[in-house]
Amino acid sequence: MRGNPVDRRSILAGLLASAATVSLSTRPASAQGDPLASWNEGPAKTAILNFVSAVTKEGTPDFVPASERIATFDNDGTLWCEQPMYVQLAFALDRVKALSGKHPEWRNKQPFKAVLDNDLATLAKAGEQGLVGLVMATHAGMTTAEFEKIASHWIATARHPKFGKLYTELVYQPMLELLAYLRSNGFKTFIVSGGGIEFMRPWTERVYGISPDQVVGSSIKTKFETNKGQPSLIRLPAVDFIDDGAGKPVGINSHIGRRPIAAFGNSDGDFQMLQWATAAGGRRFGLIVHHTDPEREYAYDRKSSFGRLDKALDAAQSNGWAVVGMKDDWKRVFSFQ
């Protein structure tokens, strides 16, 4: 599999992904001493517990020193809801509407017109170039500080169309427990997402307990400038890095500098990250979240526009990756359920 091509969807997946805000403190991670209280008993939960037990037991062949206990998590569809569209795409569409007063030309220019008309069918036909244009028009041309302010305000106010909740309330309670459990066992937990790195960082520490330096994502280029002695970083309308698919191991190497011993994903965009983490010597762990719960969340996999899970699902068994069915393996999906 030399030279995995970045598929058509990956630019979209790369630039438009990710966000939710349940305070970590609102729900205790462990109830009655069970660190994975929202997980049903079963093979997936058992596999997690066995793996953590094995790599933390000093003097055994599977032992891994704490400094090498790196765990990487995809974000969209793995830590929070990615339907009916990536949260960052919802953000971009809202930004187009908010900025349209300053851009009268958008009324007659695609794909902006489709966004303003709420014409998702036409928008879907815009293709990669059209969507990149949307991102550049809404994510660039400002300082990093200004973008952080805009993204933070949006994430604190925008609501999910189905659940009526803040997006940061639509994080998976079992995964919050898993993050906390791994950290309590000496792991460093990283997000490795196709979503925009600067879209995630303003809220990941509060929501997931993951600090900005432990967030890896897609990025646009920035440029350092000073104006009257005041330095700033300007966000440029140019892609810097797409942290998706075969880009994920590259992003992991660049930002983390160690190979993970555990990786968690939900789509084909996580396939190479799972390979990178698990196809190495020593005890390793891979896990796929399978969206099987149309009642409490959504059910989708091979044919979904967002978070398509096909090749990675087929490869799970031969690679020994755990597949978590949300419906059967999780007692609840969100903290409010």
Residue numbers at the binding site for its own copies (CB under 8 A): 1-4, 67, 144, 188, 190, 197-198, 201, 205, 211-215, 219, 222-227, 229-231, 233, 240, 246-247, 249-250, 253-258, 272, 275-276, 279
Residue 74 CA neighbour count, 13 Å, CB half:
34
Residue closer to its own copies, measured from CB, 37 or 236: 236
3-state secondary structure 140-183: CCCEHHHHHHHHHHHHCCCECCCCCCECECCECHHHHHHHHHHH
Residue closer to its own copies, measured from CB, 296 or 311: 311
Residue closer to its own copies, measured from CB, 36 or 316: 316
CB of 134 to its own copies, least distance (A): 23
From the centroid of its chain, how far is CA 220? 17
Residue closer to its own copies, measured from CB, 78 or 278: 278
Rounded distance between C-alpha atoms, residue 189 and residue 337, angstroms: 25
> DSSP character for 169?
T
CB of 118 to its own copies, least distance (A): 34
DSSP strands (E only) in the chain: 70-73, 188-196, 215-227, 230-241, 262-265, 285-292, 299-300, 322-325
Beta bridge partners of 300: 291
CB of 293 to its own copies, least distance (A): 31
Residue closer to its own copies, measured from CB, 18 or 214: 214
CB of 65 to its own copies, least distance (A): 11
Residue closer to its own copies, measured from CB, 32 or 227: 227
Rounded distance between C-alpha atoms, residue 47 and residue 102, angstroms: 54
Contact 330, 324 (CB under 8 A): yes
CB of 225 to its own copies, least distance (A): 5
Residue closer to its own copies, measured from CB, 138 or 272: 272
Rounded distance between C-alpha atoms, residue 133 and residue 215, angstroms: 25
Pair type for strands 188-196 and 215-227? parallel
CB of 248 to its own copies, least distance (A): 8
Residue closer to its own copies, measured from CB, 226 or 317: 226
CB of 185 to its own copies, least distance (A): 17
Summarize the chain as % helix, strand, coil (round to 5). 40, 20, 40
The CA radius of gyration of the chain, in Å to the nearest whole number, is 20
From the centroid of its chain, how far is CA 242? 13
CB of 57 to its own copies, least distance (A): 22
